[in-house]
Chain A
Amino acid sequence: NAGVMQNPRHLVRRRGQEARLRCSPMKGHSHVYWYRQLPEEGLKFMVYLQKENIIDESGMPKERFSAEFPKEGPSILRIQQVVRGDSAAYFCASSPRDRGWEQYFGPGTRLTVT
């Protein structure tokens, strides 16, 4: 059973460009969580999605950030007009429908904004 997949593993963007981060949950998992780890800090919750629904986006910055988890395909975290402060590691986790506390983390995407 493949684990949580994230791609790309490393992403470099210039200021003002868009960044798209992808997360494929474990097989059978219908819930996805995104977390951000700024340099030298712990992970901070961003958003929790189920298929075609955003359940909790209380940790998402109000502007430029969006997330989706379509019926088919991976979950996407999209950052528009990136700024240097967006440089961070972005982790995705997935869980089974009935065990939300059982989160399995992907390897992360390291975003660098130049």
Chain B
Amino acid sequence: AQKVTQAQTEISVVEKEDVTLDCVYETRDTTYYLFWYKQPPSGELVFLIRRNSFDEQNEISGRYSWNFQKSTSSVNFTITASQVVDSAVYFCALSEWGGATNKLIFGTGTLLAVQP
């Protein structure tokens, strides 16, 4: 069965600090997708990043970076120089690749509070 665990329920940082959100997943699939979404207080889901299991390159996009460690089934998400507008719940998600259904399995989320 597929499972996503975000052990950090809440993180509080001061503006301009770097913050890393942890995510560990379980799957029997050899190919899969991993995602990070942001849910600000307004409630909508904002897509941040998607990577497939073949691509273990770490990625940097602006203030966001992604550290995928297939050997430990972890995919951590780092925000550099955090800003108050980064305050949100961040969800990690997993999806199989090429199966009959591409449903997303979400973690329980990490609430990030960035203090001014």
Residues of B within 8 A of A (CB): 33, 37, 43-45, 47, 50, 91, 93, 95, 97, 100-109
Contact = CB atoms under 8 A, between A and B. Distances in A.
B45 A105 contact: yes
A101 B50 contact: yes
A68 to B, nearest CB: 17
Contacts of B50: 101-102
A100 B108 contact: no
A103 B101 CA distance: 12
Contact of B91 (A42, A89, A93): A42
Given A55-B100, A101-B97, A42 B107 contact: yes
A41 B108 CA distance: 6
Interface residues of A, number: 24
A110 interface: yes
Given A45-B105, A55-B101, A105-B45, 9 more contacts: A33-B103, A42-B107, A43-B91, A48-B103, A91-B45, A101-B33, A104-B47, A105-B44, A108-B44
A102 B101 CA distance: 12
21 contacts: A33-B104, A35-B106, A42-B91, A42-B106, A42-B108, A42-B109, A43-B91, A45-B103, A55-B100, A55-B101, A59-B103, A100-B101, A100-B102, A101-B33, A103-B102, A103-B104, A107-B43, A108-B43, A108-B44, A108-B45, A110-B43
A105 B97 contact: no
Q: Is the interface of A mostly helix, strand, loop or mixed?
A: strand
Nearest to A46: B103
Interface in A11-35: 33, 35
A60 to B, nearest CB: 12
A59 B101 CA distance: 12
Nearest to A102: B50
Contacts of A52: none
Contacts of B91: 42-43
Nearest to B109: A42
B23 to A, nearest CB: 12
